[in-house]
Structure 1
């Protein structure tokens, strides 16, 4: 081989080596890229599989959404099915009263010392809700009492039917909606106790836990209620001894229940026509029940044959101002040759929310609902709550000379200051001036006292 051929061959081999190097590198890099791509595709497939699996589980959970919805509105626990056909809630209220009295000498001579005290006027626990959508129920027990606490007793055990528009039918042990003030919840009344006129009006036929059948109907402006009632579910003994027969009715019209100036006009009445011999007695504590003593008392035990109670009710509210009053006549027919008796009682009250909130009116019960503070106290916000001032004049006359009854004439002036801390908590401060005249059966027929009381109220 010549030198020339050797050089040509070496050049060719070198060129081949130079050309084969990049090609080999390119082939190796492509292989690595292909392998990496394959790994990425495999990883993506795994991710897709995971997403599909979790997506299916989430979809399954969504499809199997819980049948029960739980809420805690204003601290009240409520359990409700998703279809709205069944619900179950827990309610409670506690009214703790503390009070003191300053008696005049005549009052102390007649009754001894009134007892300043602290007691739970009400301590209730209840269960309520709906079933089969159109039916409602409420079961409530009260552990509080007037002047002292008590064992649990029935306050209400009630079944309602709401399947007819604007109508509610009721059956059970309940408190019929008679009078304006008594149709207002004890959580929402303006003073610590309702006026004597109202307490006397519900005595024969419409007190708490009455065995009741009836119902209510309302439109946007009209309310009507009609009930048949018997004795209290808490009464002992048999039906023949304790159950009266009563008809209770109430009508009301409100000009503008939802906003603006609202004028409420109404009337309530009851008639008891099968009166047990030992049940009719018109008496009431002097609009404070820290001490259980009653000042006025018209006793018809063993003499009453029939009782009728009737009278008008009038109220108005406009923004933070409200006024209301009621007047009732009590007619008692007595058996034998005893003369019939007739009494009357009334009250007038007014109130103003200093912090500017508006009073709320509920046409479904033709009565007022509670004050809701615009800036509630608590919840870490430091609000002031709502403040309200109120005054009431109350008069009751249980004297009827023609019938030989001297139950007494009572006049009470009450001034109140209420602080609605939030929707659950309220404090009520009341000052009362009580004056009783012409009361029979006591040494001093004219007497009275002053009283101061504070209520701490919690409800949910």
Structure 2
């Protein structure tokens, strides 16, 4: 599999626009070419259909801690496994309409992660999205899993609502120095299905860019987000792994009855040339009288440095970070690609009121090698400490391809 990924990454046409064999326009009015995905486009770009994919393979090694294994009731084992295998269809009708279908293949099953319709240039609302997609809460959760600095998002991501079915409006200021997003959502399963009574929520996010210089080489990002919702079925539960899917859940409160959930998030990030820093704090406050109205908190702070001199790119229209661009194909051309060194500390407190889910602290050291914009090798070392129980060391390596 690794050989197949490397072979795909080395194909010259994969990293630049390349037309397929020409056809008589009277018989074949659609142009087909490859540019960050296989694209089918009509003359004048009135319609475009794009096929993309994502394949991530991982190896992980976890040290054994007898006390931790006894407390968790599960063994800590090394593993080799696919992390993500996805296919994405995106389409546009002119500049006013867009759709997206993203399918994931996991453990013998398939389901749609994102499935939505989007209308652009809507009066007052700017962009209107309807379907199943990620709610606008937090900074790191808005960034693609192929773009985040580390292999997995920080522990604080467990306090965000994730993907649900709903309707959302979003946009940005005239000078792209602030963004906004707000929507109404129904709690749904991974396939986007909802059945229940009153299990709805409202989420919103504001981001600000008070300082932006040298085309994003220097910037300061600030943001705040929140949500108010009713847990599905009147039941709630907080669970979290130590920033790797190769390990069992270290934090688990068990299920408890809850009427309402309020979420608050604060975020900040900066870029100073090759240096970058990012931090978030999130709070979950439940209205759950039998459990003592618990409140759970999580936060993280991270820093990264590009050894090869690049800077972390930022999307002003969305108020989030995006992938590196304009990198040469290291497998074909001379050069060593882009190298990034990163460090993160994060913690999640699952102990509150009558619930004792555990207090988890993680240190993560990461190294990223970007061979080109679509191919990335990432190594992470994680020290996970479940307070009062035990700790473990985790080494994880991923080869990731986006096409």
TM-score (norm 1): 0.77
Which residue of the partner structure matches residue 341 of structure 1?
A: 294
| Structure exhibiting the larger radius of gyration computed from Cα positions | 1
Distance 1:236 1:392, change over 3 A: closer
DSSP-derived class of the 1:383 partner? coil
Gaps of 5+ in 1: 1-60, 438-444
CA apart distance, 1:71? 2.5
Aligned to 2:391: 448
1:109 aligns to 2:67 (yes or no): no
Measure how far apart 1:104 and its partner are: 2.0
Aligned ranges 1:240-319 → 2 under 5 Å? 240=196, 244-254=199-209, 255-256=211-212, 258-273=215-230, 275-278=232-235, 280-291=236-247, 293-301=248-256, 303-319=257-273
CA contact (8 A) 2:187 2:231 kept: no
Bigger proportion of residues as helix? 1
Contact 2:231/2:258 (<8 A) preserved: no
Structure 2 unmatched ranges of 5 or more: 1-22
- The aligned length equals 375
Change (3 A) 1:235 1:135: closer
- Distance of 2:217 and 2:74 partners within structure 1: 50
Contact 1:283-1:294 within 8 A present in 2 as well: yes
Does the Cα contact within 8 Å between 1:375 and 1:384 map onto a contact in 2? no
- Structure 2 SS opposite 1:276: helix
Aligned partner of 1:189 in structure 2 is: 148
The structural deviation recorded for 1:363 is 1.9
Describe the superposition over 1:35-94 as per-residue Cα deviations: whole angstroms up to 9, x where unpaired: xxxxxxxxxxxxxxxxxxxxxxxxxx99959632223113x1111111222110101001
Out of 163, 178, 181, the residue aligned to residue 225 of structure 1 is: 181
Residue correspondence of structure 1 range 150-229 to structure 2 within 5 A: 150-164=108-122, 167-198=126-157, 200-202=158-160, 206-208=161-163, 210-219=164-173, 220-229=176-185
The CA RMSD measured in Å over matched residues stands at: 2.2
Structure-2-length-normalised TM-score: 0.87
Structure having the larger proportion of residues in strand: 2
Distance in structure 1 (CA, Å) of the matches to 2:194 and 2:38 = 38
CA contact (8 A) 1:354 1:387 kept: yes
Rounded Cα–Cα distance in structure 2 between residues aligned with 1:228 and 1:236: 14
Q: Distance in 2 between matches of 1:154 and 1:197?
A: 24
- Aligned pairs (5 A) from 1:8-407: 67-74=29-36, 76-110=37-71, 111-144=73-106, 149-164=107-122, 167-198=126-157, 200-202=158-160, 206-208=161-163, 210-219=164-173, 220-234=176-190, 239-240=195-196, 244-254=199-209, 255-256=211-212, 258-273=215-230, 275-278=232-235, 280-291=236-247, 293-301=248-256, 303-335=257-289, 338-372=291-325, 374-378=327-331, 380-400=332-352, 403-407=353-357
